[in-house]
Chains A and B, each alone.
Chain A
Amino acid sequence: MNLQRRTTLKTGASFALIAAAVSAGVLPTSAFAQWNKNAFDAKTLNDVVKAMGGTTAEKSGDIAITAPDIAENGAVVPIAVASKLANVESIAILVEKNPNALAASFDILAGTEANVGTRVKMGQSSNVHAIVKAGGKYYVATKEVKVTLGGCGG
């Protein structure tokens, strides 16, 4: 460890305790929500919804996906999702044609905006879905992203 002035574990005792407990194996993952293996293993939109505890997802116009129509490189495709639905609990980003559809999911806690973004890998041109859980129900919006694949030059 060194000199990370911007950084370091200068957090309060509570976090240090949890961190210590996690590394001691006492509290394996309790500092974090349990990683939802079933959802990340799922192949389809419906199976992801089921693995997240729902049955089906209803199409919604209150979900906006910000993504390029064409991504120059599938290794890094910026995707942001915002929703105007009331009581948003979580947002998930899926790439339909990836080997496993789910790329990332976000729990929106009290005070947090229903507006998140990350960058995902896409093996090929595909639909991107955003699943939003709001008021206990699941909603979905879809956008197509074309990928111009690499493979040439450095």
Chain B
Amino acid sequence: MSDPMRIRAQLKDGGITEVRVLMAHVMETGQRKDSAGATVPAHHIQSISATHNGKAVLSAQFGPAVSQNPVMNFSFKGGAKGDKVTVSWTDNKGGKRTDEATIS
């Protein structure tokens, strides 16, 4: 079970909604060796999609070089207070997570 994301969506001057997403993920590079010397297989988020009231606003792709517990910032026009922002990710091992926040 993946831990939930923390999504902050704030309406700023000029009608721009700034979104900051924190994701709980190990983002294993596939290059690290464990204490026994064995390579730890890559395990990282690959794809992220974000929607505003159901309409896609961003899609992103991550490689293993994104830091552990990733942070992502983006912003879009047309959001209003109370609207929903939904973010989903999938990783290379079939893990996934979807969470939602309200624009404030």
Direct contact of A and B (CB under 8 A): yes
CB-contact partner of B67 in A76, A98, A99, under 8 A: A76
Find out whether the CB atom of B66 lies under 8 angstroms from the CB atom of A109.
Answer: no
Residues of chain A with a CB closer than 8 A to B74's CB: 106, 112-113, 115-117
* Binary A-proximity of B1-41 (CB < 8 A = 1, otherwise 0): 10011110000000010000000000001010000000000
Size of interface on A: residues with Cβ below 8 Å to B = 47
Whole-angstrom CA separation of A116 from B67 in the bound complex: 15
A107–chain B nearest beta-carbon distance, Å:
5
Find out whether the CB atom of B1 lies under 8 angstroms from the CB atom of A104.
Answer: no
Find out whether the CB atom of A109 lies under 8 angstroms from the CB atom of B57.
Answer: yes
Q: Which of A's residues lie within 8 Å of B, judged by CB?
A: 1, 4, 6-12, 14-15, 19, 22, 29, 31-33, 35-36, 40, 75-78, 80, 95, 98-100, 102-109, 111-113, 115-121
- 22 contacting pairs across A/B (C-beta < 8 A): A7-B5, A7-B99, A11-B84, A11-B86, A12-B54, A32-B59, A32-B90, A75-B67, A78-B71, A100-B65, A103-B66, A106-B58, A109-B57, A111-B78, A112-B57, A113-B77, A115-B75, A116-B58, A116-B60, A118-B67, A118-B70, A119-B66
